[in-house]
Amino acid sequence: MFILLTRINTHPAYIFAATLFVFFLTGLISAGELLSQFINPALVTLILVLQAAAVIEKTPLTAWMSRMVFHSHSLNKSLVRMCLSIFPLSAFMNNTAVVASFLGPLKNNRQFPPSKLLLPLSYAAILGGTVTLIGTSTNLVVNGLALEAGMKGLGIFQFAYVGIPLCLGGFIYIVFFSKWLLPANGTAMKISRDNYFLEAQVLENSAHIGKSVAANKFRNLQSLFLAELIRNDRLLSPVNPEEIIQAGDILVFVGDVHKVKDIQNFDRLAIFKEENIAMLRKNLREVVLSHSSSLLGKKVKTADFRAKFDAAVVAVRRGNRKLSGKIGSIRLEAGDTLLLAVGPDFGKRENLRNNFFLINRIRLQKLLSRKNSALAVTLFIAAIAASTLNLLPLLKSLAILMFIYILMGFFRFEDFRGNSNLDIIVLVGSALGLAKVIFNSGASALIAKGILFVFKDYGAFANLAGIYLLTLLLAQMVTNNAAAALAFPMAYSTALSLQVDPLPFVMAVAYGASASFLTPYAYQTNLMVYGPGNYKFSDYVKTGLPLLVIYSVITLALLPVFFKF
């Protein structure tokens, strides 16, 4: 399974689910045991956290805080403001939602290079998520595995003992040192007619007049794609294949704009010399492809952007590279930055949030009023406080909160589909089932013996460090949730074999799985900023490695202090 996770370009959730299904077929887990994992209290808590965070997203809180980041002429002060905003938000909200809220303002700012801000944004969100049980889905996964193993559930602020020092160490590094390691890249997708657009005017008496776009085979070119049409100073975007061509139309092609000869083969089409960039700019939107998008793995030409989103793809950027050649043949990957030419219905499509993170801000949902926003945030804080003070279990507290949100109209049942990340739900439920099989089969005890053999002469702390480093390495190769699910059985069995309290080993797995700083693919927020920041892969290694060292030193130093063996 580990080989599949690292070698095959498939979401870990599907690999975990397929593996669990094989175990079910072979009798290693019963139907009742399998189904019970998907109603596990930790998984239900995760679902409720996602829904509650979605309500908070409807408030102007994150938008207001993102506008407060910038301090004129001082990058350091802007980084300070950003960290102090991100840490508390990411401790209680979904990290991807927090980063998405800040992505546009930081990327489009005119004071500092976006590359000096965006990767620190992702790192700050990761660090903030280590402070609470609900700060990241990884902590909830570990809590679910702990409950399944018979341990006491983890407290909501139990992570803060190490999490707050991690934020402090990360804060010092981000503010005072990261700027020297990060590149000073400009805007990744600067709109330029020469780079993206090739315009051709339909001359009088052209054989193409009176025929549709499809009949003229304007969409059959090898290296260019007809994205837009300008007619009488009016922009038609995206172009319908049945649109009838008229004399004087200006055809706007995208793709490899150096392939002028493809245009010259048509009858009486002239390369248009005048600038239309002002008109084109008005309907361009920059988006980042979500890790949960249904478009992943599809080619641009088969993704049907016009029907699904009322848009056409103008350009695709992957990291610091603008992908050239025939744009329709590009196979889309999570984190790709797309420049879209959009129609009037683009912002009204309900599937945008599931597929894209928007850099050019478009209001996709109606925000709550100021009064209702204050009430929603107050209720959320009250629910967290009730759990913290042991007045109510977290699951029950969140359930009551969502019931009140529904009664007050802050949350609708139809919102559930858009706010529930099915991949995470499948991954967590499958991980719980796999952990049960690994425990019951004795596989975890066998692996624990191997770990003990390596560290037997160095005591419990050495074994703890070994588990942490193993989890950390897994987190660089697979997703953080998958790393936690793979490492937990080994950590728990190692602690039992040492006859010590499993809690420090369980916490080592949680912190190790969140240490995703070295690659753009290790964590979804790293991938979100990859294209907008115009980063290279090496930028993550160069900037993330010192932070990883600081993070690891703090974690290993404090784990035995706050979580005794």
Residue 45 or residue 559, greater confidence: 559
Give the model's confidence band at 362: pLDDT under 50 very low, under 70 low, under 90 confident, else very high.
Answer: low
Mean pLDDT value across residues 499-506? 92
pLDDT value for 315: 74
Angle between helices 160-176 and 118-129 (to 10 degrees): 170
Phi, psi of 227, deg, nearest 5: -105, -35
Rounded Cα distance, 423 and 94, in Å: 15
pLDDT in tens, 210-256: 999 888 888 777 667 787 888 887 878 778 888 999 998 888 877 66
The average pLDDT across 263-291 equals: 67
Q: Is the pLDDT of residue 47 over 70?
A: yes
Give pTM, 2 decimals: 0.77
Most confident region among 16-30, 161-175, 426-440 by mean pLDDT: 161-175
416-471 tens-digit pLDDT = 665 556 767 777 778 777 777 776 776 666 666 666 666 666 778 888 998 999 89
Residues 529 and 26: their CA atoms lie apart, in Å, by: 42
Distances (CA, A) of 170 to 80, 178, 476, 560: 11, 10, 18, 20
Phi, psi of 273 (to 5 degrees): -95, -20
Q: In whole angstroms, what is the distance from residue 406 CA to residue 400 CA? A: 10
Token digits for 243? 């649109």
CATH superfamily of 289-357: Regulator of K+ conductance, C-terminal domain (3.30.70.1450)
Average pLDDT of the segment spanning 479-505: 86
DSSP 370-381: HHHHHHHHHHHH
Note whether 513 and 482 are within 8 A (CB): no
Looking at the chain, how many residues does it have? Answer: 565
Mean pLDDT on 21-25: 84
Q: What is the DSSP letter of 38?
A: G
Amino acid 83: pLDDT: 92
Residue 180 and residue 168: Cα distance in Å, rounded? 19
Strand partners, 225: 254
Buried b (16+ CB within 10 A) or exposed e, 78-109: bbbbbbbbbbbbbbbbbbbbbbbbbbbbbbee
Every domain range in the chain assigned CATH 3.30.70.1450: 193-272, 289-357
* Cis-peptide into 183, omega within 30 deg: no
Chosen CATH of 193-272 out of 3.30.70.1450, 1.10.1040.10, 3.40.50.12780, 3.30.56.10: 3.30.70.1450
Q: What would the mean pLDDT of 466-477 be, rounded to a whole number?
A: 86
- DSSP class of residue 259 equals -
pLDDT of res. 514: 92
Looking at residue 273, its pLDDT comes to 45
